[in-house]
Amino acid sequence: MEENDFKIRRVNGTLIIEKDGQGLAISQAVDNDIWFTTSKNELSLEISKYSSIYSEWQIYLVFEYLMKAIVGRYILSGDNKNEFSILPEDFVDLDSNVITWHSDSGTDNILKLEYNEKIITISILKSKDALTYESNAVRIRTSGSSYGYYYQEFLELFSHLSNLEDRLNKTTERVELKEEEYPNQKKLSLFGKSKKKEDNSSK
């Protein structure tokens, strides 16, 4: 896939980001958990802030917001200084600008977000002990996660990406609504009363 083929699309509620022959699927389950999945054994997807493609630039901004929100919460909550924190030690690396999330599931696949000179690299990696045929997915759990309340930022991410996909791919067709389709709907005046009632009250 060439650079100008960069796209985001929706398939059955799943958002798919495609670039350079790679695809990253992001979905929200009925229990609100967020899933990052790739069809390949591993994924390393670079999103550029200076891309000439509008949709890529927009997606860069969404992921940049996610990373800043996590790092900001991490610092303001004092988690970077708390010796007794239950958070995994490699969660946020402030020196190398890397966020690491070990999957909240049976497999120990890893989601990495890395900021480097106006490029955000989104990676899905397998744990050293994982077999090649195991699922290539990372689960962001919204209940009982090892990362506590940081899952909230991924809920925001999915919402932002979903809204962005709607805006980028919305149809240009205009649907005209017929009045008879809403027979019980009254035409309201500026003050919320029907015109007929206003005429009667003025007599």
Cα end-to-end distance, the chain, whole Å: 72
Specify if 198 maps to a domain: no
Specify if 102 maps to a domain: yes
Contacts of 147 (CB under 8 A, 6+ apart): 87, 88, 91, 101, 104
Specify if 174 maps to a domain: no
Specify if 186 maps to a domain: no
Tell whether the model's pLDDT for residue 185 goes beyond 90.
no
Tell me the mean pLDDT in the region 148-166. 96
Number of domains in the chain: 1
Tell whether the model's pLDDT for residue 174 goes beyond 60.
no
Residue with tokens 């497999």: 107
Residues for the chain: how many in total? Answer: 203
| Domain around 40 | 3-169
Residue 56: count other Cβ atoms within 10 Å of its Cβ: 22
pLDDT digits (tens, 9 = 90+) for 25-66: 999 999 999 999 998 888 999 999 999 999 999 999 999 999
